Structure formats: C-alpha cells, structure tokens
Amino acid sequence: MNEMKRADVLLMVVLVLLAGFFILRNVMSSQETAQIIEIRQGNEEPTYVSLHEDAIIDLSRDGKINVIQIIDGSVHMIEANCRDHLCVKKGHITKVGDSIVCLPHRLAISILGEEEGEIDVLSQ
C-alpha cells in the first residue's frame, strides 16, 4: 500500500473545508425567513408578492400559460403549457433562494428573504 503524499493530504483537507463551507452556507441561508416572491417575466420589471397570503396567480400571456399557487408559505407551479413541464415538476419551494424557472416562457419565480430594516413589499 502506497503512503499518501503530502499533496494528497492537503487536497483532502481543502476538499473537506470547501464541503463544510457550502454546507454551512446552505444551512445559514435556509434559516432566513421567507417573506416574498419575486416574479420575473421576460424583460418586464419584476413583481413582488407576499408569501403570507394564499393565492392563485395567473401569469399567462401571449398564449403561454403559467399559473402559480401560494399556499402555507410555499409556492408551486400548478399549470403550464410548456413542452417539458419542468417548472411544474419542481414542486413546492419554501426556502429563501429557491426558484422555479420556465425557460420556454422566460419566467422565473424566486423566494426572497427580508433583512433587518428592509421595507416590506406587498402584492402589486
């Protein structure tokens, strides 16, 4: 059995530290409270909607059907007429930083948190 070289040990230490960093970052970001969702369609200005009120929102336009549902602090795409339906298959998103994307329809829905002192953004 070959002895590990110093470079091998160093490489393993670096990989373990990187893995620890990403795990810690993921845990820290998931502790932030989800407050609003950001809806981006094409080149339009984003729309912000509160996660605290259950709603069904129709984002359809130009024959491109997308309907999302906000329920119990989570969001999911309940209907879409894109070919692959990946946006529907994504399921519920609940954590800050999670997103649902429908590339054929140029639509992105992201969950945003709220930092201290930030102004609440409500449905437009």
Question: Using one digit for the tens of pLDDT, what is the confidence trace for 31-48?
Answer: 567 789 999 999 999 999
> What pLDDT digit, counting tens, does each position of 3-27 carry?
678 888 999 999 999 999 988 887 7
Residue 45's SS3 state is: coil
**Closest among 56, 53, 90, 89 to 72, alpha carbons compared:** 53
Which residues partner with 112 through β-bridges? 36
C-alpha distances in Å from residue 57, one per residue of 33, 52, 60, 82, 120: 22, 14, 9, 17, 20
DSSP class of 106: T
Identify the pLDDT of residue 100: 96
Q: Is the pLDDT of residue 123 over 80?
A: no
Can you tell me the distance from the alpha carbon of 92 to that of 5, in angstroms, rounded to the nearest whole number?
47
Identify the pLDDT of residue 38: 96
E strand segments, 1-123: 34-41, 47-50, 55-58, 66-71, 74-80, 99-102, 107-113
Can you tell me the distance from the alpha carbon of 113 to that of 115, in angstroms, rounded to the nearest whole number?
7
> What pLDDT digit, counting tens, does each position of 61-119 carry?
999 999 999 999 899 999 999 999 999 999 999 988 899 999 999 999 999 986 433 44
Mean pLDDT score, 49-56: 92
